[in-house]
């Protein structure tokens, strides 16, 4: 388990970044920053792995937001036979506590995570 005293900040990948740079990083998820000594690099913790990446790929904050991040999928087209991300719809939320992704129906101001039960505002303003 990660000791919170070792977390230097929180990072999420910029929405405009696309693979190959973000292949394993999830849109809307906040990752703990565990090293920050090099001006153009940052080290985040993704699961049990430390990932060293260019700082320009991330938005970095001192604290992890407690509201749900909204991911807007550019160029989304419904594909009923496809699974996975297509089931999430054009907009989906990412839970700030467990990183679970789930479909947003309408534009709710508040919601709860179906996985961990966290209740908070939906960050439509971001």
pLDDT category, 4, cuts 50, 70, 90? low
| Same domain for 80 and 47 | no
What is residue 26's DSSP assignment?
Answer: P
Residues 9 and 57 in one domain: yes
**Domain final residue, candidates 38, 61, 84:** 61
Q: What does the pLDDT average to over 41-62?
A: 91
Report how many domains make up the chain. Answer: 2
pLDDT at 107 over 70: yes
Q: Average the pLDDT over 73-85 and give the result.
A: 56
pLDDT at 26 over 90: no
pLDDT at 35 over 90: yes
Q: Distance (Å, rounded) from C-alpha 54 to C-alpha 61?
A: 16
The CATH number of residue 9's host domain is 2.30.30
What does pTM read for this prediction?
0.73
Q: What confidence category does residue 126 fall into, taking pLDDT thresholds of 50, 70 and 90?
A: confident
- Assess whether pLDDT exceeds 50 at residue 19: no
């Amino acid at each position: 388990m990660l000791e919170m005293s070792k977390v230097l900040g929180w990072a999420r990948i910029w929405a405009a970044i696309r693979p190959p740079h973000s292949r394993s990083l999830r849109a809307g998820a906040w990752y703990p920053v565990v090293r920050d000594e090099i001006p153009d690099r940052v080290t985040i913790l993704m699961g049990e792995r430390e990932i060293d990446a260019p700082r320009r790929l991330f938005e970095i904050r001192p604290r992890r937001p407690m509201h749900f991040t909204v991911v807007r999928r550019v160029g989304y087209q419904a594909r009923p036979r496809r699974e996975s991300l297509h089931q999430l719809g054009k907009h989906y939320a990412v839970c700030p506590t467990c990183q679970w992704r789930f479909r947003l129906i309408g534009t709710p101001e508040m919601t709860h995570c179906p996985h961990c039960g966290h209740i908070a505002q939906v960050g439509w303003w971001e």
